[in-house]
Each structure stands twice: as C-alpha cells, then as structure tokens.
Chains A and B, each alone.
Chain A
Amino acid sequence: MKGIGADGEYWAALAQGKLKMQRCAGCGTWNWPAVWRCGECGGWEQVWEEVAPQGRVYSWTRSWYDFGGPRDLSVPYVSVVVELDGVGDKRLLGTLEGGEPAIGLPVTAVVRASEFEGEALLSLRWSPSPTQTAKEA
C-alpha cells in the first residue's frame, strides 16, 4: 500500500512541505517511479533534489461516482496528472482545485494532508498558477 518502492525520500520531503525528485548520481537521469538502481547506466547511487512544485496538466478526470477514495474528497472532484517543469518530463498526480481543468494548464502545488483507511496520507493539491507578471515573463 505504501509508496511504489524506492520513494521513501519523496514522502519524507513532502512531510516537510517540500517536493524532491530522484536523480541518478551517475548519469543525471531523473527516474520516476523512484529506483534502487538506475536502469539507464546501472548506477546504484541516487540523489534527491528539491524541485519547484509546478508543471502543466498532462491529463485530468472529474470523478462523479464515489469510488471510495479519501473521505475529504467529495464528488465531484478533479484528479490530474501533471508533467513537472524541468524534471525530465516526469509526471506526478494530485487533485486540482480553483480552476477548470485543461491539458496544458500551468499549475502549482501545495501539500495536502488527509487520511485513507485510518492512515495519514500526503498528496499534492494543484491549482492554476498565478498569471505571470510582465516582469517575470
């Protein structure tokens, strides 16, 4: 139930409100799901780099039927797959609030704490990124 395997550091970072993703110390490949051994170069040393919780919506669905997810998510709610900026096109999941979903929509995440089947659960709550100012653009 917990994690996908080698992603302990991801959850530890999330608990501190940070987003960290795994990278091979040997060849620099971003590996996700996290790995014990880099399948690209065979390296066993992996590092966790803090990255900005921002990206673009890769796909989305709005659930209307209650399939029995975390209780603080009441239907209808929107789930998203987000392609992170600058992390080798790796995608993370989460919910979307505060805007209509669309593929390509720039989004930013904060950490959401909830509970599922009696256990604490951390996840990413995405929302549309604030419109860029002229200075930033």
Chain B
Amino acid sequence: MSVENFRGAVSVAGVGLRQYKRGKAPLAEQGVLVRAIVDACEDAGFNPAEVDGFVSYGDDKNEPVRLMPDLGTRELRFNAQMWGGGGGGIAGAFGIAAAAIATGQASAVVVFRALVQDNSGRMSAAVMRHHLNDHLVGAGLVAPAQICALRAQRLYEYHKVPKSVAEELVLASYYHGSRNPEATAFGQALDLDAYREGRWIAEPFRLFDCSRENDGAGALLLVSAERARDLRKPPVRLLGVANGAEKGWGDLGENDRDYASAGFKPIARRLWRQTGVTPADVDVVQLYENFSAQGVASLIDHGFCSYENVAEVVRYENLIAPSGKLPVNTAGGNFAHGFVHGIGMAVEAVRVLRGESANPVADAKICLLAGGPGAPTVSSALFARDDL
C-alpha cells in the first residue's frame, strides 16, 4: 500500500466513551460496551446495524459476534484483535481496521476496548499474566509497575534523565483532567506536595506516577474518508499507523537492548516515514502513560526530545493547552482523565481535532496517538483534520 493510499483511505466518523470508577459500572461489561458503540454511531449519525467490522486489543474479552443481537448487526464481515496483552496495541488496532476498509473486507469498523472489573478482573493482572514466567516471579516481579520501574530506574540513574520530568508530565495531565468534566480528576488539580509525598509503589514510582484503572468502554467508528464526509461530524482522518518491535526488543526477560526506552524508536521512525509528518508538525499528543517515566521515554523515542534536552521540553508550561508548544493529554490522559486501557486517549485524539476537547488546542491539525510504552510490541498512529 502506498503512502498516498493510506493517507486518504479511512476516517473516524464517531466516538463514544463511557467511564466509571473501578468496580462501579452500572452495567456488566458487554452492556457498557454496547452503550459506547451506540454512542459512537449516534455521534456520527450512523445506524449501528450497519457496522460490519470490529477490532480490539489487549485481550479484550468481548467477542464481536456476541454484540450482534444488541446492535442489530446485519452482517459481521470482519473481526480481529491485536496481539499482546498491554496497551501497546491500541494504535495498531486502527491499522487493522484501516486495512479491512481499504481492502473492501468491511465498510464500517468499530475499534473498541471494554473493561469492567467485575467481569474481566484487574487489567494490570491480566496484562502481566501474558508475560509471566518463573524468571520474573522468582525475582518478585509480578506487576507491570515493577517492570516499568526497572526501566525507569535505568532512565534516571544511568541515562541521567532528571526525575523532575515525571512530575512535570503528571502535573500537566492533572491540570487538563481538572478542567475536563468527564475526567476522574475533574475539579482537582494535583497538589505538588501530594505527588512528592505519595506512598512508594515500586521505586522510583510513587502513587501518582502510576495510572489507576477505571471501568468503562470506548468505541470509535471508522469508515472510508469519502463516506465520512457525508456523516454528521467533521471526519478525522487516519494518516498512518506503525506497530511492532525491532530486533533486540520484545518479550526477552529484560534483555531488551535499548532498555530505558519505551520501544518506540523504530516504530516512530516508520510512522514519520510513512506519513511524511515530522515531530515538529504535530500539534497535540495523546501520550499513553501507564507510568510517568514511560510517558517521558515515549516522547523521547518519538523524537520530541532527547536524553540531553528532555528537561527543557517536558515542562508543565510547555505541555498544557492552549499555551504550551507540545500539549499532551488534553483530556487528562490515563492519569487524570481515566484509564480504560487507553481507549479514552484515542477518543480524545478525535475530539481535540474536532475542537471538542475540554482543553482546546487552537487550530490543531495533527494529533499523535502514542500507544502503551514499554510493551513487547508497541504502536503509534497519526490522526489529522480532513482539511489538512
């Protein structure tokens, strides 16, 4: 597929997000998901029965065929899921959906993720089960927080990245979240002392360096760019997607070569090459931050900064909308908007480009969605306004 083909092929026509406190969803997981999918269809002015494809990631348990009765699905033509248990696959899910539409295998594809603790248990435990082995367990390493802590320690102690960058990123997320009525942190900007005095989880992470799970579901409706122009909302085009891992990265028992990275360097290189976009062209970033240091490493991997100048770029003032040059997580991100395995970040990528964000970025044309960092496979996507 040529670059031009991908650029014009597919757009997001509608988004839906239902989010609750962990353990507080009013419906079982499948019910919440049906709500979110119908929300996305209503957002687009699209009949849910005409959705003919579904894609998810992160070992979602809701097999699309079971959604058919509720949605009135006329024909299921395409159902697929990204490999990998973590959020690393989120952007790649859009690549699968785009491939299905561009090749005529389906015409209207929903990318979704649903998580309700009563049904699927703790997401962190499920992610870890994917990779757990006796080497890890014997070392007492049984949670994503600990694995990411090992890599963060290397980032700080060996590569000399100042720990203050984590604080700047977390504060920016909470600033945005505090101004977003939909966010878990609405009305509560993070107190710096509370951050610094948060209890230790796994050094170097304290409580507020870690994202905390929510119940909920998110859905994004994708159709051809042409068809999207006839629907209710301004379309947001999928410019490109890159996914995977380079030799020396993966499920390697902590033998990854570029250990303190988030695994994105080769993926970002491919995304920039595929789209002709550069980091300087990106107006706003939805940065999946399972943990603070991994969010920072992801920005470094994508080329927004380096080990040397990271403290100049990852500054609170620079990361907040509308004044910052690199607005990050305009809904509050996983930290402060809510964490339904990152699907809220994809929804926000669309909203901010439509001008619907609680923290608008004036004239934003291009938004990067950087998926779950540090996972054995990671993925990123670029979204853009249709009039780019």
A residues sitting closer than 8 Å to B (CB atoms) are 1-4, 11, 32-33, 58-65, 67-70, 73, 76-77, 79-81, 90-95, 102-103, 112, 114, 116, 121-124
Contacts and interface: CB of A to CB of B under 8 A. Distances in A.
Interface string B22-65: 00000000000000000000000000000000000000000000
Q: How large is the interface on B (under 10, 10 to 19, 20 to 34, 35 or more residues)?
A: 20 to 34
A70 B201 contact: no
B133 A64 contact: no
A94 B139 contact: yes
Given A4-B253, A91-B253, A67 B142 contact: yes
A121 B154 contact: no
Nearest to B143: A67
A112 B202 contact: no
Contacts, number: 121
A81 to B, nearest CB: 5
Contact of A103 (B136, B142, B158, B203): B158
Contacts of A61: 146, 149-150, 153, 202-204
Interface in B84-141: 132-141
Nearest to A72: B140
Interface string B193-214: 0000001111110000000000
Given A61-B149, A62-B203, A69 B253 contact: no
B81 to A, nearest CB: 23
Which has the most chain A C-beta neighbours within 10 Å: B140, B142, B154, B255?
B140
A77 B145 CA distance: 14
B259 interface: yes
B154 A58 contact: yes
18 contacts: A3-B135, A59-B158, A61-B150, A63-B146, A63-B149, A65-B145, A65-B201, A68-B142, A70-B137, A76-B200, A81-B150, A90-B255, A93-B139, A95-B139, A95-B140, A103-B153, A103-B154, A124-B138
Contacts of A112: 138
Contact of B253 (A32, A67, A70): A32
Contacts of B153: 59-61, 103
Contact of A32 (B138, B150, B157, B255): B255
B158 A3 contact: no
A16 to B, nearest CB: 16
Contacts of B200: 62, 64-65, 76
B1 interface: no
Contacts of B145: 65, 67
B280 interface: no
B139 A80 contact: yes
A133 B347 CA distance: 62
B151 interface: yes
Nearest to B129: A1
A73 B141 CA distance: 11
B259 A58 contact: yes
